[in-house]
Amino acid sequence: MNTALIIIDMQTLMQHRIDSGRDHVNPDTPSHIKRLATAFRDAGKPVIHVRHQDDDVASPLHPTAPGFEPMPCAEGHESEPVFLKKSSSAFATTTLEEYLRKEDITQLVVTGAVAGFCVNSTVRAGADLGFKMTVVKDAVLGFDLPSANLSAREIFDVTVGLLEADFAAVVDSDTVLTSIQVNG
**Per-residue pLDDT reduced to its tens digit, 56-92:** 999 999 999 999 999 999 999 999 999 999 999 999 9
Give domain limits for the chain.
Answer: 2-183
- Per-residue confidence band for 1, with pLDDT thresholds at 50, 70 and 90: low
From CA 178, how far away is CA 40, in angstroms rounded? Answer: 11
Find the distance separating the first CA and the last CA of the chain, reported in whole Å.
12
Question: Which CATH number describes the domain made up of 2-183?
Answer: 3.40.50.850
- The DSSP H or E segment spanning 19 is helix 12-19
pTM, two decimal places: 0.97
- Per-residue confidence band for 184, with pLDDT thresholds at 50, 70 and 90: low
Q: Where are the beta strands (DSSP E) in 9-152?
A: 24-25, 47-52, 82-85, 105-112, 132-140, 142-143
Burial of 55 (0-12, 13-18, 19+ CB in 10 A): exposed
Total Cβ atoms within 10 A of residue 86 = 12
The DSSP output letter for 115 is I
Closest CA to 133 of 100, 86, 156: 100
Q: For the residues of 33-49, what is the DSSP string, one character each?
A: HHHHHHHHHHTT--EEE
Whether the per-residue pLDDT at 182 is higher than 70: the answer is no
